[in-house]
Amino acid sequence: MVEVYKFGGSSLKNAEGIRNLRQIVADVDQCLVLVVSALGKTTNALEEVVQASFEPTNTWRQKLDSIQEFHEIIASDLLPEPDVFLDTILRPSFDALARKLEDPPAGSFDFVYDQVVSMGEIWSTLLIHHYLVATGLDFRFIDIREYLITDSNYREGRVAWDQSGFLIRKGFACTGKEKYITQGFIAGAENGYATTLGREGSDYTAAILAYILNAQQVTIWKDVPGVMNADPEDYPHPKKLVEIPYQEAIELAFFGAKVIHPKTIKPLYNKKIPLWVKSYKDASGEGTLIHEMEQAPKLIPVFVRKRNQVLISILPRDLSFVIDEGLGRIFNQIDTHKVKVNLIQNSAVSISLCVDRFDERVERLISELSMDFKVLHNTNVELITIRHYTDESIREMISGKTILIEQKTRSTVNYVIKTG
C-alpha cells in the first residue's frame, strides 16, 4: 500500500512549518512518498533571478543571496548541527548556481528558467531530508529529475509516461513501510537537463507518482481546511465542501481555484485514486475528499476568481467573417506560443480570448497575430466564475462591476470584468 503526501511552499515557509511536516509524516505506518515544493515563495524569487540574469546588470546576485540567506536561516533554526549541512551541501549548491549565472545565459529563456528555478525544490528537499534523518526518521532522498522524464518543452514539460513509469516503479520500491522524499514541480528531460511542469505543479507531481505507483490515496496538505466554496483570501466566511466528484474539482481548478493544480485530477481519475485536501494546521481535521461519486452532490454556489487576465480581441482588417477566415491561423498561433486560453467568445467579425497574465508569451502571440489581424488587448481584467450559480450569487458577485464578457451554461457562469 502506498500513500502520497504533498506539502507546498505555504506550509514550508519557516522552520516551524517543517517541524509540523515531520509530525504529520511520523504518524504514517505504510509506504510513504513525500512530495515537497520549494520553501515559501522561493520559486517567485528564483523567477526574478532568471529575469535579472538576462539583463545587463548584476542584480541577480543580490537576489540569489537573499534566497540563500532565507534557506540558511531556516536550516540554522531547524537542524541540530547546521554547519555540516551548510558547508558541505547548501553553500556549494548555491555557489555552483552563481558560477553558472556569471556567464551569459546559455540557451533560451525557458531553458535557463528551468535550470535555475528547479533548484528551489532541490534545496528544500535536501534540507527537509537532512532534518528528517537527523531527527530519527528513515527517509530516502530521490532526485526526481532522474525518474520523472518529460520532453524538452521547458516550463511545461510533457510527461513521458512509459519511461517514467519504468523508472519510478524501480526507484520508489514499496514493499513495506519505506519512506521516500522527492521534489514536486520539477522533472528531467532525456538530454539530462531539468524541466518543470508549470507553476504550482507539485500537486500534479503527487498525482503522477500516485498513478504510476497505484497509490491508495493522495493527500495535499494546505493552509486551508479543504476546498472551500470561495478563496478564503477573497471572501471572509467561505464554506468547506466535504466531498466533490473529480469532474467538479477539474472545473474549479481550470477556472482558477489555485488550491489544486488543474492537471492533478486526470491521472487520479484514471485510476480512481481518492484525493484529500487537508489542512496542515489541523492534521486530524476531515478536509475535502475528491473521488468518484455515483451521484453528483447538490452543491452550493462556488466562486472562483482568476486575477491578472488579458482580454485579447482579434478582428480581420476588412470585416470578413473571422470564423471563415482566420480561426485555424489564430489557434495555430495560440498553440505555437503556448498561451493558456481560459475563455473564448466570438461574434461575426471578432474573436475574444481571455488568457493568463501578460507575459512574454502573450506579447509574442499578440505581435504575431497583429501581422494578419487587428488586435486589441486589455490587461486590466479578471475572470470570475460561479459554479452552481443562483440569481442571488450572481448579484453578490457582479453588482457594481463593469462586465466585458458574460458566458452562461446550465452549471457555470463566467464573467470577464474590468478591474481598472
By C-beta, is 9 or 326 nearer to ligand ASP? 9
Binder among 171, 232, 274, 301 for ligand ADP (CB under 6 A): 232
Residue 275 CA to residue 284 CA, distance in Å, equals: 16
Q: Residue 183: beta bridge partners?
A: 36
What number of other Cβ atoms are within 10 A of residue 359's Cβ?
12
CA 311 vs. chain centroid, Å, equals 22
In 146-297, DSSP assigns E strands to 149-150, 179-183, 186-189, 194-196, 217-222, 243-245, 275-279, 288-291
The sheet carrying 186-189 orders its strands as 149-150, 186-189, 194-196
Binder among 156, 200, 248, 356 for Mg ion (CB under 5 A): 200
User: Among all chains, which residue has been given the C-alpha cell 505507483?
Assistant: 213
Binder among 11, 20, 37, 342 for ligand ASP (CB under 6 A): 37
DSSP code of residue 54: T
Per-residue mark of binding to ligand ADP, 90-109 (x: CB under 6 A): --------------------
8 binds Mg ion (CB under 5 A): yes
Q: Which alpha helices (H) appear in 183-326, and where do they start and end? A: 202-213, 246-254, 265-270, 322-325
Residue 308 CA to residue 161 CA, distance in Å, equals: 33
Size of the site for ligand ASP (CB under 6 A): 12
> How distant, in Å, are the alpha carbons of 33, 53, 357 from that of 109?
32, 10, 17
185 binds ligand ASP (CB under 6 A): yes
By C-beta, is 127 or 257 nearer to ligand ADP? 257
C-alpha cell at 179: 519512506
Nearest distance from C-beta of residue 224 to ligand ADP, angstroms? 4
Per-residue mark of binding to ligand ASP, 100-139 (x: CB under 6 A): --------------------x-------------------
DSSP code of residue 88: I
287 binds ligand ASP (CB under 6 A): no
Per-residue mark of binding to ligand ASP, 41-70 (x: CB under 6 A): --x---------------------------
Nearest distance from C-beta of residue 201 to Mg ion, angstroms? 8
Name which of Mg ion, ligand ASP, ligand ADP, none residue 228 binds, using a CB cut-off of 5 to 8 Å depending on partner kind: ligand ADP
227 binds ligand ADP (CB under 6 A): yes
396 binds ligand ADP (CB under 6 A): no
197 binds ligand ADP (CB under 6 A): no
Residues of span 194-223 touching ligand ASP by CB under 6 A: 199-202
C-alpha cell at 256: 482558477
Residue 326 CA to residue 341 CA, distance in Å, equals: 17
Pairing of strands 412-418, 373-387: antiparallel
40 binds Mg ion (CB under 5 A): no
259 binds ligand ADP (CB under 6 A): yes
Task: Name the residues that contact ligand ASP, by CB under 6 A.
Answer: 8-9, 37-38, 43, 120, 184-185, 199-202
